[in-house]
Amino acid sequence: MTTRRRSAIILVGICLLMISCTSDVLLKRESTVGLNGSFEITDSGYPVNWEFFPNPETNSALQVIVDTTYAVEGNQSIKLVAREIDDVVGIQSQQVQVQSGKTYRISLSVKLSGCSVWVRRATWDADSVPVNSRLAKVADDLRSPGEWQHFEDILTIPERETSIYVGLSVIGSGTVWCDDVRIEEVAE
């Protein structure tokens, strides 16, 4: 795949995320659970409070498996099997409330086989409007299959921004495991 073509696909994926995945997503919401970044709490075979796109129950581009073979934290991770090269597939957390002026660490672990991922985080303002300028690529083209890789990003929340989410986009056909997603305030 050319760099230009891949960039176009990624851009489309990000645009899809910025409209909050209003279609073709699967979400099992549980208001009492929070981020569920360890993917330990599930409903009908899917971790709660994570959006999966496209909807794995109706679109064969993405298969979602709660994997008890590999885990960084707890007893299980999320396993994403992407089958179609030209589709952007991935996951996105729900918004986590944060305070402007405070600093947060966004971290997670991924393990890859045959594909790449983009790890993203973005903030939202008080009206739940995505703040584009805070959308950031954290990592991409990670081609060290077989080993868990840890990533983190430090972010001081700008004024008027009130929440944050994190997500993964899978680029290419392959398998991604993800576990131990954290959004934590960093002590001053």
What is the binding site for Ca ion (CB under 5 A)?
38, 71, 73-74, 179
Contact 38, 74 (CB under 8 A): yes
Q: Which is nearer to Ca ion, 43 or 86 (CB)?
A: 43
Question: 56: helix, coil or strand?
Answer: coil
Rounded to the nearest whole angstrom, what is the least distance from the CB of residue 171 to Ca ion in the complex? Answer: 23
Q: Which is nearer to Ca ion, 23 or 149 (CB)?
A: 149
CA dist 50 and 154 (Å) reads: 22
Contacts of 104 (CB under 8 A, 6+ apart): 98, 154, 155, 156, 157, 164, 183, 184, 185, 186
Q: Which is nearer to Ca ion, 153 or 179 (CB)?
A: 179
Rounded to the nearest whole angstrom, what is the least distance from the CB of residue 5 to Ca ion in the complex? Answer: 34
Rounded to the nearest whole angstrom, what is the least distance from the CB of residue 75 to Ca ion in the complex? Answer: 7
Rounded to the nearest whole angstrom, what is the least distance from the CB of residue 110 to Ca ion in the complex? Answer: 13
Rounded to the nearest whole angstrom, what is the least distance from the CB of residue 127 to Ca ion in the complex? Answer: 33
Q: Which is nearer to Ca ion, 76 or 163 (CB)?
A: 76
Contact 36, 48 (CB under 8 A): yes
Of 59, 40, 60, nearest to 49 by C-alpha is: 40
CA dist 141 and 155 (Å) reads: 22
Question: 15: helix, coil or strand?
Answer: helix
Q: Which is nearer to Ca ion, 51 or 179 (CB)?
A: 179
